[in-house]
């Protein structure tokens, strides 16, 4: 799992795939991969999330690490791992989910906001912590957290765009999770996947010097 984290820290970006239709998955993942995205989570509140995870692992497993997001229960965690999820992301801290993931050698990335929650997540065994929702407090909050908690790997999630992602990295995050600004449902419905690739490339390039 430490190797997973090491590789992620080189790539720095997790694409958050939420609410897509099943037929969108293959062209979307093709667009993301072409744009340099190497990590993507499919949120479990997406229709047919588990089949999408399974199918995209088969199609893009050599080019991308594909995980499950919005994992709220141990049952969901179990199902996601069975579907092939390579990491688990939650919006909250659940020690049982973390323990299950660790027992299956799958990196758990729980969500937390306060210093207490962040420390509890790490004490439960979290590989890194998703600081969420960052849109509420901005990059400065990450910087302040890093004062007493510099030993904890933090991934900034919530309101991330290609314009502000670098600010979160400069504040001390090891990576970001990016959803709606990258995974544009209107663009996909119109077949404009090339624009998603272009956005991904711009995001990827802006992060590489950090």
Active site residues: 41, 130
What Rg, from alpha-carbon coordinates, does the chain have?
16
Handedness of CA 70, 75, 77, 79 (dihedral sign): negative
* Cα gap 18→44, rounded to integer Å: 8
82 contacts 53 by C-beta, under 8 angstroms: no
Environment class of 11 (CB within 10 Å of its CB; exposed 0-12, middle 13-18, buried 19+) = middle
Token digits of residue 166: 């670098």
């Amino acid at each position: 799992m430490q190797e997973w984290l090491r590789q992620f820290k080189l790539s720095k970006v997790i694409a958050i795939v939420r609410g897509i239709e099943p037929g969108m998955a293959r062209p979307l993942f093709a667009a993301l991969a072409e744009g340099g995205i190497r990590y993507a989570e499919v949120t479990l509140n997406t229709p047919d999330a588990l089949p999408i995870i399974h199918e995209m692992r088969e199609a893009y497993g050599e080019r991308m690490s594909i995980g499950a997001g919005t994992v709220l229960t141990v049952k969901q965690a179990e199902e996601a791992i069975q579907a092939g999820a390579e990491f688990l992301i939650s919006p909250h801290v659940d020690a049982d989910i973390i323990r299950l993931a660790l027992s299956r050698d799958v990196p758990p990335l729980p969500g937390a906001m306060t210093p207490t929650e962040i420390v509890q997540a790490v004490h439960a065994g979290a590989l890194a912590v998703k600081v969420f929702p960052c849109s509420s407090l901005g990059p400065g909050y990450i910087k302040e957290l890093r004062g007493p908690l510099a030993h904890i790997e933090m991934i900034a999630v919530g309101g991330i765009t290609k314009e502000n992602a670098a600010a979160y990295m400069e504040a001390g995050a090891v990576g970001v999770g990016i959803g709606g600004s990258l995974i544009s449902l209107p663009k996909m419905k119109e077949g404009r996947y090339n624009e998603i690739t272009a956005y991904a490339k711009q995001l990827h390039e802006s992060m590489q010097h950090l």
